[in-house]
Structure 1
């Protein structure tokens, strides 16, 4: 399992379209991927779960991935969340 603290740099934060893209990125991998913010932990492959976090630009989240392709999954999710 890999865990990383990532700051969201997407200017609009995670509203509908960026969440949909994040779910698509996460869904490419076999690994279980979770995003945690404050007391909430949701499956990164769940569009409704991700929307429920209501994340804004500049917020920090903890992303964890566990599975055969966890390193690659973490790398690409970090790349997406850190894009401007």
Structure 2
């Protein structure tokens, strides 16, 4: 299991528009990814309803994880997206 702990950088948290950006990026990642609020129960990062159900606020820590050991670069890119509150997935880290 590979994981990254990251602080949500979007001012509105992981809600509505930022959640849709994150879900699209997680879906396009090509590997299974989960997201959890702090040490809470992980949910499918490719599911809009699941991500919204987390209620992650700006400045809160979330955990991105994947059972795929080759997901290091994917998780780095997703972590950067979340931490910097970007509008799209960065090409590289």
TM over 0.5: yes
**RMSD of equivalent CA atoms:** 1.5
**Structure 2 unaligned regions, length at least 5:** 86-93
Q: How many residues align?
A: 84
| Structure with the largest fraction of strand | 1
Give TM-score, length-normalised by structure 1: 0.88
Q: What do the CA deviations read for 1:7-40 (whole angstroms, capped 9, x no partner)?
A: 1111111110100000011111221100112432
Higher relative contact order at CA 8 Å, sep ≥6: structure 1 or structure 2? Answer: 1
1:11 maps to what in 2?
Answer: 11
**Structure 1 unaligned regions, length at least 5:** none
Give TM-score, length-normalised by structure 2: 0.81
> After the TM superposition, which segments of 4 or more aligned residues of structure 1 sit over 6 Å from their partners?
none
